[in-house]
Amino acid sequence: MKLSELMNYRTFGVTFLGHTNTKPERFKIFETARRIDRPNQSKIFSCKTDCIQQQAYEILLENGFKIVSFSSDKDNYYFHVDSWGEDFKEIKDIK
C-alpha cells in the first residue's frame, strides 16, 4: 500500500486536568495546529463520570464529529475523526 492510499484523519486528544485549590477535576479536548497559521485549539469540560474517555467520546459524537478509531498513550486518549469539507467542525463550537 502506498502512503497516498492511506486515509487522512484529524486527531483530537483528551487529557485529564486534576483539581486545583479553586477548580474541580476537569478534562480538555484538544486539536494541535495542522498549519502554521492556525493555533492549537482546546476546550475544557467538567468531569461528570469516572471515565473521561467515554464522556469525551459522547461529546464529540453529540456535536457531529465522525469518529473512526481511537488510541492512547500514557498521558492522553486520542480520537481519529473523519470530519473534513462540509463536515468540518471546530473545537470552539463544541457544546
- Is pLDDT above 80 for 76? yes
Rounded mean pLDDT of 81-91? 83
- How many CB atoms neighbour CB 28 within 10 A? 17
pLDDT tops 80 at residue 36: no
Domain ranges in the chain are: 14-87
Which element (helix H / strand E) includes 46?
A: strand 41-46
pLDDT at 63: 94
d(CA 16, CA 73): 13
**pLDDT at residue number 42:** 95
